[in-house]
Structure 1
Amino acid sequence: MAHGDITHIEIPVTDNARATAFYGAVFGWDITESPGFEGYPMWRAPNKISGGGLVPRTEPSEGPLSFVEVDSIDDAVAKVVGLGGTVLKSKQEISASSWWASVLDPDGNQIGLYEGSTAMD
């Protein structure tokens, strides 16, 4: 993965078991829960590159959230704000070597930012 690649897509769901069965059967995704991420099943596509998580749906119109890899969340957030976007969630630690944040573009579209190792620590 490199700067600008989409690294992770969160799909809002109301039922993890049903979503796991659906996406596994339709797309052949491997969906598992990892220690420390209980209640957040993570999926990996057969290409072993694309992946994401199943998150609880909080709004009826809520759609998938794509995460884009950046070299520096701090720098990316500064650019977002400077270009008329806003910060929804400030930089949060995932592991000792990876972080995430979410922002809105000027049109109100949510974008996740990811910085760090693509391997789980």
Structure 2
Amino acid sequence: MPHGDITHIDIPVSDLEAAKSFYSGLFGWQISAPPGFEDYPMWQAPNQVSGGGLAPRSEGFTQPRSYVEVDSIEEILAKVTESGGSVIMEKSPITDTSWWAIFADPDGNHVGLYEGTTEVG
């Protein structure tokens, strides 16, 4: 996906099995945990483009979070702070070829960043 595209949406859940049943029944999403990500079931919409994950709900993760694909997480995080936002989580690896980070905009909305390529399955 090109720089700036929304690439992924995480939905915080307290019961993974119940959430898988709920969302697959409601929207027809295909939901499965790829190898190496067994505790993180991924959903795929029928359009085969939209997708994301069902992630454990936590104190700092209570609302769905969109992830935007970027060419450079470091450059975007620098622009975030220059523009009045703040870094919630610095760049961290997902795999050997992909990374993520989280920032807050000036209104406090959390947005995820994604850089790289993740091969799952």
* TM value normalised by structure 1: 0.92
Alpha-carbon distance between aligned partners in 2 of 1:72 and 1:111, rounded to the nearest angstrom = 15
The alignment's C-alpha RMSD in Å is 1.8
Contact 1:95 1:120 in 2 (8 A): no
- Per the alignment, do residues 119 and 49 of structure 1 end up closer, same or farther by CA in structure 2, a change over 3 Å counting? farther
> Any runs of at least 4 consecutive aligned residues in structure 1 with deviations exceeding 3 A, and if so which?
118-121
Q: How does 1:25-104 map to 2 (within 5 A)?
A: 25-59=25-59, 62-104=62-104
Partner of 1:15: 15
- Matching residue of 2:110: 110
**1:10 match: secondary structure:** strand
User: Structure 2 stretches of 5 or more lacking a match?
Assistant: none
Mapped to 2, the partners of 1:42 and 1:81 lie a distance apart of 31
Q: CA offsets, 1:45-94, max 9 Å, x none? A: 11111111111112498210000011110100000011011111110111
How many Å apart are 1:119 and its aligned residue? Answer: 4.0
Partners of 2:120 and 2:38 in 1: CA distance: 15
Letter in 1 for 2:64: P
Aligned residues with identical type, % of pairs: 57
Worse-matched range after superposition: 45-54 or 58-67: 58-67
TM-score after normalising by structure 2: 0.92
d(CA) in 2 for partners of 1:61 and 1:86?
Answer: 16
Report the CA distance between 1:120 and its aligned residue: 3.3
Query: How far apart in 1 are the matches of 2:20 and 2:47?
Result: 18
